[in-house]
Amino acid sequence: MTIRVPVVEKIMSANDRIASQNRARLDNARIYSMNLMASPGGGKTSLIELTIKNLAELLRLAVIDGDVATSIDADRAASAGAVAVQINTGGECHLDAVMLQSALRQIELDEIDLLIVENVGNLICPASFKLGTHKNVLISSIPEGDDKPYKYPGMYRGVDALVINKIDLLPYVPFDMDYFRRGVEVLNPGLLTFPLSCSTQEGLDSWISWVLQQTQSNRII
Amino acid sequence: MHELPVTQNVLEIALRHGKAANASRIMSINIVIGELASIVDDSIQFYWDIISSDTIAEGAKLNFNRINAEFECKVCGERYKLQGNELVCPDCGSLQIDIVAGKEFFLESIDVE
């Protein structure tokens, strides 16, 4: 005889459980953490480099870099002055909570104030896998086009801040900022945004001050 | 493409609940997927056939209950579904909307023997 057993369990709950353990470890060590997501070429590594260079004298930084292969990004973060750990996902298109858990074991957590996790360049999968970081940040860049919120709603819905990178290219690329922002507003009302350019460093100051302020208030609490 | 870890989660949840119910076999697994959940059910089925072998869930039928995305305007109360790309309220043009359906992704029940 067949019996129906009610389950009603979120399918991502196993990952979510480990994500909350990661958060607890980070909180115990008083580390403020952010998960940076973007499509390939969106400017994750460049923004991380600039963030390290601007904050290295004020904060102790670590970067965990997720990539399908190579350690190019972790090398760039290390030469900018951060403790850097590379995770090669070996084909997986995102980081998950288990990968972050093992990367955290490679860092002296008590010696870090700010942890930046660079997710794999992808606008779909990373949105489904919580890592346990305090903030999820998306970098969108002008050449990607103004329709990205409409095409990747899951990603735009789940983030706490949005960096709009490469604004120096606005005069050269068809990009309707109103259309873009309308999509963002529907999916994530009132989302904090940082329009900036990693090349010209226009707008970078407000991003840096925000990261600094978030990290410092985390240390005081 | 992250359907492999997703499918592993489905298997883990199904086996845990099957065991708790003293099942000798899991016949079917009922999954609810919202339109906005970015999950491809064909891929889950593909991985399922591989990873469920040699478990009590081997050969279980995966039933997917798809939920369409649905929005509700906070200003005029209009309820509407996705129409092309535009997400704003088709009635009053407001940007203040709630997603009332379409984010679901959970294992609803299993049928066991």
pLDDT in tens, chain A (221 residues): 899 999 999 988 888 889 999 999 999 999 999 999 999 999 999 999 999 999 999 999 999 998 877 788 888 888 888 899 998 887 778 898 989 999 999 999 999 999 999 999 988 878 888 999 999 999 999 999 999 998 888 899 889 999 999 999 999 999 999 999 999 998 899 999 999 999 999 999 999 999 999 999 887 65
CATH number attached to the domain at A14-220: 3.40.50.300
* Chain A residue with Cα closest to B113: A2
Predicted-complex ipTM score: 0.83
Which positions in chain A touch B21 (Cβ < 8 Å)? 3, 5
Q: H/E element holding A83? A: strand A83-88
Q: Is A185 on the interface with B (CB under 8 A)?
A: yes
Per cent of chain B over pLDDT 90 is 60
Which positions in chain B touch A10 (Cβ < 8 Å)? 105-106
Q: Note the pLDDT of residue B110.
A: 97
Where do runs of H (alpha helix) occur along chain B?
Answer: 3-20, 41-51
d(CA A83, CA B45): 41
Provide mean pLDDT across the span B4-19: 92
Separate counts of helices (H) and strands (E) for chain A: 8, 8
d(CA A38, CA A144): 10
In chain B, the number of structural domains is 1
CATH number at residue B44: 3.30.2320.80
d(CA B37, CA A66): 23
Per cent of chain B over pLDDT 70 is 98
Handedness of CA B29, B30, B35, B36 (dihedral sign): negative
Q: In which domain, by residue range, is B75 found?
A: 3-112
Place of tokens 């996902």: A89
Q: Is B112 on the interface with A (CB under 8 A)?
A: yes
Residue B107 has pLDDT above 90, yes or no: yes
Residue B60 has pLDDT above 70, yes or no: yes
Residue B1 has pLDDT above 60, yes or no: no
User: What residues does each domain of chain A span?
Assistant: 14-220
